[in-house]
Amino acid sequence: MTATDERPATGLPVRWDLAVATGSRLVPPGPAVGPEEAAAEVARLAEGARIGEGHVRELTGLGAGHKIPDAAVVDRPGWIASGVEGIRTLTSQVQLPTAGRTPSPGLLARAAGTVTATVAGAQMGGLLAFLSTKVLGQYDPFAGPGNAGHLLLVAPNVTAAREALDVDAEDFALWVCVHEATHRLQFTAVPWLREHFRSEVTAFASGMESGVSAALDRLPEITRALRSRSDTSMLELLQGPEQGAILDRLLALTTLLEGHAEHVMDEVGPAVIPSVSTIRGRFTARRRGGGPIDRLLRVLLGVQAKVKQYEQGRVFVDEVVGAIGMEGFNAVWTSPDTLPRRSEITDPAAWMDRVHGS
């Protein structure tokens, strides 16, 4: 690249192999179980994913006629490797700003780039190691064969959660699978959603550097807000107006997706999961728990904000479905314009007025 070449780089400067290696090295082991118990958990989850999506389709009316693919039942390092793959694919179109910069001479530029990518890879690995102990399952639209998406179920975490909650193994596995199968159906039955999500993430990540740089002038304000607002992540507080608007759309979308999955898993539950009320009560209490260090990490990483998303999103879906039925709610999947705005997540009537004119 010459000093006059202002073409933006594409993709994040991350050593992806180091992220996988670091995460796999740092991740704590799962619960100690014998081979028979481990095999039984894997079988429960694999079958639960197939059965669960059938129930989700019946309730939501989405995905009729689509083949139900198999889920991937993985351990914690497997989830980390898949997560890195998905992030790399999702962010492959991100354009890093280079305009107006004069590159350093070749060797120095390469060295600086290597340091940046190495630090980013190590940081990502550490973050994923922490998260890999929390995730029960996940549909990743950008990982799997051909990066076409696949559903992951993290067997050791499901085992650990079930033991901590002291709930029925079959019921809990199916309950988890219904939630994740809903996410898979959202992205496979709504043809425009995957690329819409990618485009929003690309736009947000491409402008992050300028937003974070501007935020340095607001550090005292950000620090005060972080202390007083446990439902807000540091990422959200660092954004300026333009990036904030994109982030608002992303937060509204992810809140909708999580709330929809929460609504579905509870609506499906009573008919096919006898102990669903016990599971829900104990699981909700567990989400809000954790020691002081864990709670701090949740705030800094935005995990606490995600817990809030589940609650707000479920209320939104509950109220819309209660007022106009599942068919009326499904208008949300018509186009990006019919997705709820962030202000509408806590005001479902406003979304119904805008989309249905009632």
Token couple for 184: 């898979």
Q: Where are the alpha helices (DSSP H) in the chain?
A: 16-26, 35-60, 76-90, 106-131, 155-165, 169-189, 193-206, 208-215, 219-228, 234-237, 241-272, 276-287, 292-301, 303-329, 342-345, 348-356
Same domain assignment for residues 46 and 95? yes
Same domain assignment for residues 213 and 178? no
Same domain assignment for residues 172 and 214? no
pLDDT of residue 5: 39
* Paired residues of 73 in beta bridges: 153
Nearest to 198 by CA among 71, 307, 87: 87
The domain in which residue 299 lies consists of: 207-358
Token couple for 156: 């050791």
Nearest to 86 by CA among 164, 143, 29: 143
* pTM of the full structure: 0.81
Sign of the CA dihedral with 273 first, then 278, 279, and 280 last: positive
Is the separation of the CB atoms in 259 and 314 below 8 Å? Answer: yes
pLDDT of residue 235: 53
Same domain assignment for residues 221 and 348? yes
Residue with tokens 């190495």: 118
Name the domain boundary from 191, 221, 253.
191
Burial of 308 (0-12, 13-18, 19+ CB in 10 A): middle
CA dist 352 and 25 (Å) reads 48
Nearest to 280 by CA among 186, 178, 187: 178
Residue range 152-162, pLDDT digits in tens: 999 999 999 99
Same domain assignment for residues 243 and 351? yes
The answer as to whether 202 is a domain residue is no
**End-to-end alpha carbon distance in the chain:** 57
The answer as to whether 91 is a domain residue is yes
Residue range 50-62, pLDDT digits in tens: 999 999 999 999 9
Percent residues over pLDDT 70 in the chain: 75
pLDDT of residue 264: 93
Same domain assignment for residues 240 and 351? yes
The answer as to whether 22 is a domain residue is yes
Same domain assignment for residues 241 and 310? yes
Same domain assignment for residues 181 and 247? no
Residue range 232-266, pLDDT digits in tens: 554 555 556 677 788 888 888 988 998 999 899 88
What is the 3 state secondary structure string of 147-176?
A: HCCEEEEEHHHHHHHHHHHCCCHHHHHHHH
Look at residue 4 and tell me whether its pLDDT is greater than 60. Answer: no
The answer as to whether 52 is a domain residue is yes
Q: Give the chain's mean pLDDT.
A: 81
Look at residue 3 and tell me whether its pLDDT is greater than 50. Answer: no
Same domain assignment for residues 160 and 215? no
Sign of the CA dihedral with 73 first, then 77, 83, and 85 last: negative
The identity of residue 106, as a single letter, is G
Total of domains in the chain? 2
Same domain assignment for residues 34 and 100? yes
Q: How far is CA 139 from the centre of its chain?
A: 8
Average pLDDT over residues 172-188: 93
The answer as to whether 294 is a domain residue is yes
pLDDT of residue 109: 45
Same domain assignment for residues 117 and 14? yes
Same domain assignment for residues 150 and 267? no
Residue range 41-90, pLDDT digits in tens: 999 999 999 999 999 999 999 998 888 889 999 999 999 999 999 989 98
